[in-house]
């Protein structure tokens, strides 16, 4: 049946209960239909910048993914993303017996649909070299057909040079990948150091899917490279993530951008204004994570107080609010007050503090501003 477009199907409306169409011959049983909607992922502006939700690493049947390109737009639309990029492997085409190899094709097939769905589509590719040096994503390229298709190690440098020549924004993907599964460790290698020296490396994917590459975060911070988090989705988002459960989201890069455009995104990427978001965790430069948290979390004026005459102390009551879909988990490090606070998405907690203090200092254990360091966050009283 239906040869409907992806858009039409995305727009299919869920109606409660048995609803007869005009034609009495067909009865619609809509109770179990997906309630088609574009979720709003709430994150307030950060110092006047919009926070764009982006995933810059994904595959389709045109390389080793399991879906037609339109599905990636559907997923992005439903899940509230602003921007995506198809990053097909240049050098790995396991479906080539069935699917004609065309490195630009998944992007091209999605262009119109992305426009209809108001998704910013950034043209990208994955440069899939053997490990080491491993894989790199190049965003904002013009033409993938002119790049290096051959996976011979002798061409590693040429492959990078060719995407660099297209003025791409280049980041190193999942640096610990093979290391983790095969060799047991991973290092900042000479090849990458050379890229870095030659300004051909601009970021590192420190979170890939649900794997946090710890060393990679420190490398990015120490060299002022942009922190990136992506899904690297091959399968369906709904099959890899427990989508539909409250608060569950795919891995993504939060980009603090002047506007909702490809240009704004590039500008923010180059300026390093990103935070990676995966599971309950935020990863990034201290300043970025702090700014983001300041935009999301607020504390009320004290609304109540209680005096313990015996102890000679007074407790003040505040509401601490998380006005975002992010998650923050705080542990008290100095001051007298609530010891542990979990700020679930779009919710508040009661915070109590002994009177006479100007602040409480919390460690935000759901953030990483280095592989071994969480953000310290002052709650001003």
The token pair at 326 is: 């992010």
Per DSSP, the three-state class of 42 is coil
Query: Residue from 197, 199, 244, 310 that binds a copy of itself (CB under 8 A)?
Result: 244
Within 169-188, the residues that bind a copy of itself by CB under 8 A are 173-174, 176-177, 179-180, 184-186
Residue matched to tokens 């610990």: 176
Q: In angstroms, rounded to a whole number, what is the distance separating the alpha carbons of residues 42 and 254?
A: 12
Tokens 């005459």 belong to residue: 309
> What's the rounded Cα separation, in Å, for the pair 186 and 188?
7
Residue 307, beta-bridge partner list: 314
Q: What is the number of other CB atoms lying within 10 angstroms of the CB of residue 228?
A: 32
Choosing from 165, 210, 263, 271, the residue that interacts with a copy of itself (CB under 8 A) is 210
Residue closer to a copy of itself, measured from CB, 167 or 340: 340
Contact letters for a copy of itself, residues 58-87 (x by CB under 8 A): ---xx-xxxxx-xx--x---x---------
Q: Cβ contacts of residue 85 below 8 Å, gap of 6+?
A: 55, 56, 57, 58, 121, 122, 123, 124, 137, 139
261 binds a copy of itself (CB under 8 A): no
Residue 299 binds a copy of itself (CB under 8 A): no
Size of the site for a copy of itself (CB under 8 A): 116
Query: Are the CB atoms for 361 and 378 separated by under 8 Å?
Result: yes
| DSSP tag of 210 | T
Query: Per CB under 8 A, does 347 bind a copy of itself?
Result: yes
Write out the binding residues for a copy of itself, residues 3-42 only, by CB under 8 A: 3, 6-7, 9-14, 16-17, 21-40, 42
Query: Any contact of residue 306 with a copy of itself (CB under 8 A)?
Result: yes
Write out the binding residues for a copy of itself, residues 110-129 only, by CB under 8 A.
115-118
d(CA 366, CA 5): 40
Whose Cβ is closer to a copy of itself: residue 165's or residue 342's?
342
Is residue 373 within the footprint of a copy of itself (CB under 8 A)? no
Kindly state the smallest distance separating residue 344's Cβ from a copy of itself, in Å: 5
Q: Which is nearer to a copy of itself, 6 or 160 (CB)?
A: 6
């Amino acid at each position: 049946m239906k040869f409907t477009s992806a858009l039409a199907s995305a727009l299919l409306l869920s109606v409660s209960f048995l609803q007869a169409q005009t034609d009495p011959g067909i009865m619609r049983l809509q109770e179990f239909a997906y309630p088609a909607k574009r979720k709003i992922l709430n994150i307030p502006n950060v110092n006047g910048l919009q926070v764009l939700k982006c995933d810059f690493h994904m595959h389709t049947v045109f390389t080793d993914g399991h879906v037609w390109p339109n599905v990636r737009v559907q997923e992005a639309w439903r899940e509230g993303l602003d921007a995506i990029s198809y990053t097909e492997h240049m050098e790995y085409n396991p479906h080539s017996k069935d699917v004609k190899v065309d490195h630009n094709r998944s992007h091209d097939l999605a262009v119109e649909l992305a426009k209809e769905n108001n998704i910013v589509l950034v043209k990208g590719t994955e440069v899939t070299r053997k490990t080491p040096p491993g894989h790199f994503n190049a965003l904002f390229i013009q033409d993938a057909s002119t790049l290096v298709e051959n996976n011979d190690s002798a061409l590693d440098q040429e492959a990078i040079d060719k995407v660099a020549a297209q003025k791409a924004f280049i980041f190193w993907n999942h640096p610990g990948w093979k290391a983790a599964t095969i060799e047991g460790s991973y290092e900042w290698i000479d090849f990458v150091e050379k890229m870095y020296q030659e300004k051909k490396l601009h970021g590192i994917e420190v979170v890939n899917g649900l794997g946090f590459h710890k060393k990679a975060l420190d490398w990015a911070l120490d060299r002022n490279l942009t922190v990136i988090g992506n899904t690297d989705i091959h399968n369906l988002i709904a099959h890899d993530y427990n989508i539909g459960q409250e608060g569950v989201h795919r891995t993504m890069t939060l980009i603090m951008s002047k506007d909702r455009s490809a240009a704004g995104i590039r500008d923010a990427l180059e300026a390093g204004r990103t935070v990676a978001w995966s599971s309950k965790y935020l990863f990034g430069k201290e300043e970025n994570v702090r700014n983001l948290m300041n935009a999301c979390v607020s504390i009320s004026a004290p609304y109540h107080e209680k005096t313990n005459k015996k102890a000679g102390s007074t407790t003040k009551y505040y509401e601490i609010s998380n006005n975002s879909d992010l998650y923050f988990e705080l542990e008290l490090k100095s001051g007298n007050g609530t010891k542990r606070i979990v700020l679930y998405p779009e919710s508040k907690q009661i915070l109590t503090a002994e009177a006479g203090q100007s602040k409480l200092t919390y460690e935000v254990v759901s953030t990483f501003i280095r592989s071994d360091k969480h953000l310290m966050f002052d709650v001003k009283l």
